[in-house]
Amino acid sequence: MQTPYTEPISPSKTRIGWIGIGIMGSAMASRLIAAGYSLTLYARNPSKALPLQSQGAHLANSPYDVAQCSDVVFTIIGGPPDVRSIVLGPDGILSGLNSGGVTVDMTSSHPNLAREISKAADSKGCWAVDAPVSGADVGAREGKLAIMAGGEAGVVEWLSPLFQIMGRCTYMGEAGCGQSCKIANQMVGSANLVGLSEALTFAEHARLDLKSVLNGIRGGVGGNMIIELFGERMIERDFRPGGFVEYLVKDLGMGLDVVESEDESVCALPGAALYKNLFSAMIANGDAKLGLQALITVIERLNGIHKASTQVVNCDGC
């Protein structure tokens, strides 16, 4: 392809590369395969690619090799250091992407890095889009993710057939704006998680039926997606991850870093700083690989309450 505008995206003509097959990435890639797209994968642990290979995906030896045989390459990996290595490294995506190709980073990463990648892609005659997602494991499986995209508006529009398979895309602006929106999303989600954890702890202290409490809150201004995703899991002590707390701490930290590095002293973020400290307490307690809903254990500990989860948590291979 000379540019992303020469022909519309279609399963018969558009070759997809995919890097990142964790809890969410594997579900997103699976949906693209089910929609008829040809996928080429790279995985640091090739055995994790076996389920997608059984659906017809091809396994490549490096990000460079993925890019060489792809028109669009998606990444959804750990964080900014991983993104930098996979996209900008000597054997990375941009070293192998052909002119006119597109790299789409769906990782929650740093806005400054997204802008750096965009400039590097432009120098190669390619395009870069930052399109982080929200919706946890359920949203990834059901194709109901919120996708926040930054980059060239026409390229984001061209990618819309792929985004529609994974969820609903909102265009946020130039490169880096998708990542900035995701950081804002994490601040709202964190506030709701803290509120839900405190509400359930308080309700139990008040000897209320916790499932009835959830039903009552759903009908009021406190109703939100966090309750739908995590309320029952908190009550049932099911802390299996739909997303890892260490990634949320990273995201909140990036928001605070943007404010500090850009000297935006008028933008005080006291809530984000508090939420980061509370979720960091989970990590300090050895719970970095638990789901976000395990924040309730931090609130309980502050109240002298110590409980075990009723679900066995084994994150090997997550």
Q: Which residues contact 190 (CB under 8 A, 6 or more apart)?
A: 248, 252, 271, 272, 275, 276, 279
Q: What is the distance between the alpha carbons of residues 316 and 261, in angstroms, rounded to a whole number?
A: 36
Q: Which residues contact 318 (CB under 8 A, 6 or more apart)?
A: 22, 23, 241, 244, 289
8 Å CB contact between 219 and 267: no
Residue type, 161: P
SS3 breakdown of the chain: % helix, strand, coil, rounded to 5? 50, 15, 35
Q: How far apart are CA 84 and CA 223, in angstroms?
A: 38
Rounded Cα gap, residues 34 and 299, in angstroms: 41
Options 124, 182, 276, 307, the catalytic residue: 182
Q: Tell me which amino acid residue 78 is.
A: G
Q: Which of 41, 60, 67, 39 lies closest to 127 in space, CA to CA? A: 67
Assess whether 13 carries a catalytic annotation: no
Beta strands 133-134 and 145-150 are: antiparallel
The amino acid at residue 137 is D
- Taking the C-alpha atoms of 139, 80, 181 and 161 in order, what is their torsion angle to the nearest 10 degrees? -50
Q: In the numeric block, which tokens belong to residue 107?
A: 């990782």
Give catalytic residues, as residue numbers.
182
